[in-house]
Chains A and B, each alone.
Chain A
Amino acid sequence: MNLQTVILFSMATLFLGAAVTLLMPYSRRTIGWISLFFQTVASLGFLYTALRVLARGTFNLDKPVFQVAGLGASFLLKVDALSAIFLLVITVVSWAAGLYSIEYMKHYKESLARYYPLLLLFLLGMYGVVVVRDLFFFIVFWEFMTLTSYALVVYEWGNRTNVNAGFKYFLMTHIGTAGIIIAANTLYHYSQSFDFNALGPVMGLLMSDNPVLLHTLLLLFFLGFATKAGIFPFGDWLPDAHPAAPSPISAILSGVMIKMGIYGILRVFLGMLPVSHFSYTWGLILTIFGTLSLFIGTMTAMYQHDAKRVLAFHSIGQNGYVLLGIGAGIMLLPISPALATIAIIAGLYHLINHSTFKSLLFLTAGSLQYKTGTKDLDLMGGLGKYMPWTAACGIIAAFGISGIPPLNGFVSKWFIYHATLNGGFAVPILLLAGVVALFTSLLTMASVMVKFTGLAFFGQRTKANENVNSDVPRTMIAGQVILAVLVVLQGILVVWITKTLYAGVTGLLTPGYWPKFSSVININQGGLALNLGEGPVGFYKPLFVLLALAVLTLAVWVIWKSGGSKQKVSALWYSGEVQSPEAVRYYANSYFKTFKQHFNIRIGKYSQEGVYPNWKVPKIHKSFKLKHLLDVDDWLYRPLVYVGHKVLEVFAGTHSGFPQWYLLWMVIGAAVALFIMFMVG
């Protein structure tokens, strides 16, 4: 089957699905299944596309599907290995979230006509972004994605906080997108084409002719993509928007959508920008912002007690890891291609890992919200006993994000440390970035592993969730289990994934530039050994580690069992007093207080808690006239309605209910009619 047909058919399916779910007045559950059906058909199409591209090589369309002659844009499709990787990420995460939605969305009061159609169109936007080769249509799909996701963020529009969060998201991403549009148009001025392939040489040309312009364009691209990717400080919309959206949408936003910013960065800074000192400069900038983002995002997560806000700040942090890997790679390209390959693979590996464990954590937070009706971690506690599946999946995800071997987070972090620390021998700033990344990994462990799971699943049940007695419905569990299995598998199938990512990375530049896979990474016994030319520098064999841990655990179990001790269960010991769980609970704010104190900011008179800038933007006092002018409702619509209403009230007064009055009206009416007749006649 022709891949072009498959891609267009899948896109059409999503469109059709949006139309059908919008128009069908079925029950909340049925409409969910219908939506999932269309999503599954489209997912299969894209899955086929992705796997075929990975197996047989790039699909590249020479002739555009159609052209917009007046704008110079042509709808060109290209799916290379990098696009295929993103297609897989979108497909898997969104399918799990779609399955999860069916039951989850039942507990909202708002109409589902604003959920499923928009969800399908949102997916269409993201799929579109990664399959086109034309910057114009890239931006079209990009906008499609932004607008639909905005509408999904403000799904609960009755809540003022959510609407404000949505507006912030809308405004910030559009400022970023404006930058991308300006940059695209400027490039078009030189190339007379929006084709990705034509833009690379233009950048090469600008490099010698007008370096200032090129730097400006790259800055605009960077701002646009970094805003979408939620990189600190551009991603300030993220911690507000993610908690506002329904949980499956938060999962897709965090697991997939913010990765589109990274996709854009890869396409522009690696696919278009020729390897030169520009790569070094911009790689350095990406590295610095990545490091800043990973530290500040994760550190700030420690101050939160709203389950989804904790995770949202971690998204800033974890995307910082991704950007650090990719930035280090772009930076090292002119210096050492071998290290650059490892660094970019590291970034991409973390990207796919983050897409699974973070969306799983958001679904976990969603399940907690579904059962307890709150997002506040302080009101939860001891839920593991009653929600075993959710707890198990949540703990796996927490292990994953903390990078505990042999789960997926460890592999990508292992890659990142090796890339940055080895790169640090050449460029010391990378060494610093690596040290910060290692430290931040501990912070992640502290706030997700200890705080999030500790508060939600362990300890004693509080009064607030006394009536939680069962786990979430089966389809929701299924959505979580799919992702949990992936978290484990991504940690084990390292060889296959690394090879795929290598194909994705090397497709971006001329083939001869990259070192051979076998010369950088040696594969033996299902594991990896990094080699930078002077013999292996690091080993990781997940199967060996897994086997060793299993055997050792078994051995320890034998020792534990050997004493033949009796098993007993006892109540908690409170130094002999009887205490309610609320009275003795260790609350979210108390966690790590002494440690956090050392990270408060004090500049002159200004002081604040934590490293995340939370100063208030001064309110602009609009003059009354300007505000009046902007508010069309106020000076046009409402006065008109008022007048109309008054007029109609006069007529309404005629209906008094007494027959005499009606007779009088008839007489008057007849008189008026006669009068008119005589006057006209």
Chain B
Amino acid sequence: MNSVIKITGMLLVLLFLSPLLEGLLRKFKALVHSRIGPPLLQPYWDTLKLLGKDNVRSVHSLLGPLPAYLSLAAVLLAGLLVPVGGTSAFAGGDMILFLYMIGLASVCVMLAGMDSGSPYAFLGIAREMMTSLTVEPVLFIALITAALKTHSFRFSDMAFYQQTSGTSLSMIISGIALLLGIQAQLSKLPFDIPEAEGELMGGPFIEISGPTFSLYRWGFIIKQLIFSLILVQIFFPWTFGLSGLWAVLAQIAKILVVVLLVGLVDVVNPRLRIDQAMIYYFGVVLTALVGLVFALVGA
């Protein structure tokens, strides 16, 4: 029964609290641009409005909105595996299952793009896949480093590790690599190459509209929370000697810092070309590998 409450609670947080984070981010971006910006609750209104709009799909579509359902479901399941306060809501949080759930979500986006049959979508998908090919390794190498320190592949164990054994150099390096990778994981500028609104008109999403599109957008917003949680809970779980409610507030503050950092980079950078981005990603992968090597020698 306890686990049912936990799972439901986590689902509610993921679904209904993550847009608030997006709202804050938008406000922050507006601040950097010296604009007033949309109201804090704008992401909620956007979703509601999109849900009521006409659902237009391409004539070539075979699967309809099916990939959208599956994509959001996969993101939510991945979210259930993420540790919050040291424990995961679902099945002990197997790291490999998490990686593949994130993978399933992006596969669904690609399926949806292919399904629409638009050449812009195909171009976007190829870029999305290339991005995945170079950015996902950062995620799993960083997590393997954590697993190597913890000797376990459960997120629950990983989240507890630093609290019991203190921090280490390899974890910090991996954390930084992951932070550098998040930008691309979330398709934020300068790495929004797959969508590239000005160039590909949304890439995989060019033919997707209304409620179906709102599901993908929601998925992205939830992913933003998931990655910040992974980073904060596993790699930087410091509570600065605080306890109780203050510790929780410290975690939330750290999540905000991560999201605003990502937003700041997003807002001050123009989009890179895919080949430029690729070289940057290889550098990030290398950083993550350095972390792994440090972990191997015991640092």
Q: What residues of chain A have their CB less than 8 Å away from a CB belonging to chain B?
A: 382, 384-385, 388, 391, 399, 402-405, 410, 413-414, 417-418, 421-422, 424-425, 428, 431, 434-435, 438-439, 442-443, 445-446, 449-450, 453-454, 457-460, 534-541, 544-545, 548-549, 552-553, 555-557, 559-560, 562-574, 584-586, 590-592, 594-595, 597-598
Residue pair A458, B117 in contact (C-beta under 8 Å) = yes
State the CA gap A388–B63 with chains docked (Å). 11
Residue pair A573, B154 in contact (C-beta under 8 Å) = no
Residue pair B97, A565 in contact (C-beta under 8 Å) = no
Pairs A–B under 8 Å by Cβ, sample size 24: A382-B60, A385-B62, A404-B103, A414-B97, A435-B137, A438-B99, A438-B140, A442-B133, A442-B136, A454-B125, A457-B62, A458-B62, A460-B60, A537-B151, A539-B91, A548-B77, A549-B74, A556-B76, A560-B65, A560-B215, A562-B51, A568-B55, A571-B59, A572-B58
Residue pair B114, A454 in contact (C-beta under 8 Å) = yes
Nearest-CB residue, chain A, relative to B152: A537
| Known contacts A565-B55, A592-B129: A421-B147 contact under CB 8 Å | yes
Tell yes or no: B53 within 8 A of A by CB: yes
In this complex, the member of A421, A454, A598 whose beta carbon has the largest number of chain B beta carbons within 10 angstroms is A454
State the CA gap A241–B68 with chains docked (Å). 40
Nearest-CB residue, chain A, relative to B55: A565
Residue pair B125, A594 in contact (C-beta under 8 Å) = no
Provide the residues of chain B in CB contact with A548, threshold 8 Å: 77, 80, 90
In this complex, the member of A428, A536, A552 whose beta carbon has the largest number of chain B beta carbons within 10 angstroms is A552
Tell yes or no: B176 within 8 A of A by CB: no
Nearest-CB residue, chain A, relative to B279: A598
- Give the dominant DSSP class at A's interface: helix
State the CA gap A391–B62 with chains docked (Å). 10
| Known contacts A421-B144, A538-B96, A565-B54: A585-B114 contact under CB 8 Å | no
Residue pair A544, B117 in contact (C-beta under 8 Å) = no
State the CA gap A422–B54 with chains docked (Å). 50
- A-B CB proximity, top 4 nearest: A563-B51, A552-B73, A586-B122, A458-B114
- B115-129: which have CB < 8 Å to A? 115-119, 122-123, 125-126, 129
| Known contacts A459-B60, A560-B65, A565-B211: A450-B129 contact under CB 8 Å | yes
Closest Cβ–Cβ distance, residue B105 to chain A (whole Å): 11
Residue pair A572, B59 in contact (C-beta under 8 Å) = yes
State the CA gap A534–B152 with chains docked (Å). 9
Nearest-CB residue, chain B, relative to A558: B69
Nearest-CB residue, chain A, relative to B110: A450
Residue pair B73, A438 in contact (C-beta under 8 Å) = no
- B187-215: which have CB < 8 Å to A? 201, 206-207, 210-212, 215
Other A-B contacts than A404-B107, A445-B103, A570-B56, 17 sampled, CB-CB below 8 A, are: A405-B97, A405-B104, A414-B94, A442-B133, A445-B107, A459-B119, A535-B152, A545-B97, A549-B74, A552-B76, A568-B57, A572-B118, A586-B126, A591-B126, A592-B133, A595-B130, A595-B134
Tell yes or no: B278 within 8 A of A by CB: yes
Residue pair B107, A402 in contact (C-beta under 8 Å) = yes
State the CA gap A581–B152 with chains docked (Å). 51
Nearest-CB residue, chain A, relative to B296: A428
Tell yes or no: B42 within 8 A of A by CB: no
State the CA gap A548–B95 with chains docked (Å). 17
Provide the residues of chain A in CB contact with B294, threshold 8 Å: none
In this complex, the member of A403, A414, A445, A557 whose beta carbon has the largest number of chain B beta carbons within 10 angstroms is A445
Residue pair A566, B77 in contact (C-beta under 8 Å) = no
Nearest-CB residue, chain A, relative to B274: A594
Provide the residues of chain A in CB contact with B274, threshold 8 Å: 594
State the CA gap A571–B60 with chains docked (Å). 8
Residue pair A592, B59 in contact (C-beta under 8 Å) = no
Residue pair A384, B62 in contact (C-beta under 8 Å) = yes
Residue pair B129, A382 in contact (C-beta under 8 Å) = no
Residue pair B122, A556 in contact (C-beta under 8 Å) = no
- Give the dominant DSSP class at B's interface: helix
Nearest-CB residue, chain A, relative to B51: A563
Residue pair B91, A446 in contact (C-beta under 8 Å) = no
Tell yes or no: B72 within 8 A of A by CB: yes
Provide the residues of chain A in CB contact with B103, threshold 8 Å: 402, 404, 442, 445
Residue pair A539, B154 in contact (C-beta under 8 Å) = yes
Residue pair B57, A569 in contact (C-beta under 8 Å) = yes
Tell yes or no: B260 within 8 A of A by CB: no
Closest Cβ–Cβ distance, residue B161 to chain A (whole Å): 13
Provide the residues of chain A in CB contact with B212, threshold 8 Å: 560
Closest Cβ–Cβ distance, residue B125 to chain A (whole Å): 6
Provide the residues of chain B in CB contact with A557, threshold 8 Å: 69
Nearest-CB residue, chain B, relative to A583: B119
| Known contacts A417-B96, A536-B154: A594-B117 contact under CB 8 Å | no
Provide the residues of chain B in CB contact with A565, threshold 8 Å: 51-55, 210-211
Closest Cβ–Cβ distance, residue A155 to chain B (whole Å): 34
Provide the residues of chain B in CB contact with A391, threshold 8 Å: 62
Residue pair A549, B77 in contact (C-beta under 8 Å) = yes
Provide the residues of chain B in CB contact with A435, threshold 8 Å: 137, 140-141, 144, 292
Tell yes or no: B153 within 8 A of A by CB: yes
Tell yes or no: B23 within 8 A of A by CB: no
Residue pair A594, B130 in contact (C-beta under 8 Å) = yes
Provide the residues of chain B in CB contact with A537, threshold 8 Å: 151-154
State the CA gap A28–B122 with chains docked (Å). 42
Provide the residues of chain B in CB contact with A438, threshold 8 Å: 99, 137, 140
Tell yes or no: B267 within 8 A of A by CB: no
Interface string of B59-96 (1 = CB under 8 A from A): 11110010011101110110010000000001110111
Interface string of B39-57 (1 = CB under 8 A from A): 0000000001011111111
| Known contacts A421-B153, A586-B123: A569-B96 contact under CB 8 Å | no
Provide the residues of chain B in CB contact with A418, threshold 8 Å: 96, 153
Nearest-CB residue, chain A, relative to B53: A565
Residue pair B110, A449 in contact (C-beta under 8 Å) = yes
Provide the residues of chain B in CB contact with A535, threshold 8 Å: 152
Tell yes or no: B282 within 8 A of A by CB: yes
Residue pair A553, B73 in contact (C-beta under 8 Å) = yes
Nearest-CB residue, chain B, relative to A591: B126
Residue pair A556, B73 in contact (C-beta under 8 Å) = yes
Nearest-CB residue, chain B, relative to A593: B126
Tell yes or no: B100 within 8 A of A by CB: yes
Residue pair A556, B69 in contact (C-beta under 8 Å) = yes
Closest Cβ–Cβ distance, residue B44 to chain A (whole Å): 13
Tell yes or no: B132 within 8 A of A by CB: yes
Residue pair B211, A560 in contact (C-beta under 8 Å) = yes
Provide the residues of chain B in CB contact with A567, threshold 8 Å: 54-55, 57
Provide the residues of chain B in CB contact with A413, threshold 8 Å: 96
Residue pair B117, A598 in contact (C-beta under 8 Å) = no
Interface string of B286-299 (1 = CB under 8 A from A): 00000010001000
Nearest-CB residue, chain A, relative to B135: A442
State the CA gap A574–B207 with chains docked (Å). 11
Residue pair B207, A573 in contact (C-beta under 8 Å) = yes
Nearest-CB residue, chain B, relative to A459: B117
Residue pair B60, A549 in contact (C-beta under 8 Å) = no
Closest Cβ–Cβ distance, residue B218 to chain A (whole Å): 8
Residue pair A573, B206 in contact (C-beta under 8 Å) = yes
Tell yes or no: B232 within 8 A of A by CB: no
Q: Residue B119 contacts which of A538, A563, A585, A597 (CB distance < 8 angstroms)?
A: A585
Tell yes or no: B148 within 8 A of A by CB: yes
In this complex, the member of A414, A417, A539, A555 whose beta carbon has the largest number of chain B beta carbons within 10 angstroms is A539
Residue pair A431, B129 in contact (C-beta under 8 Å) = no
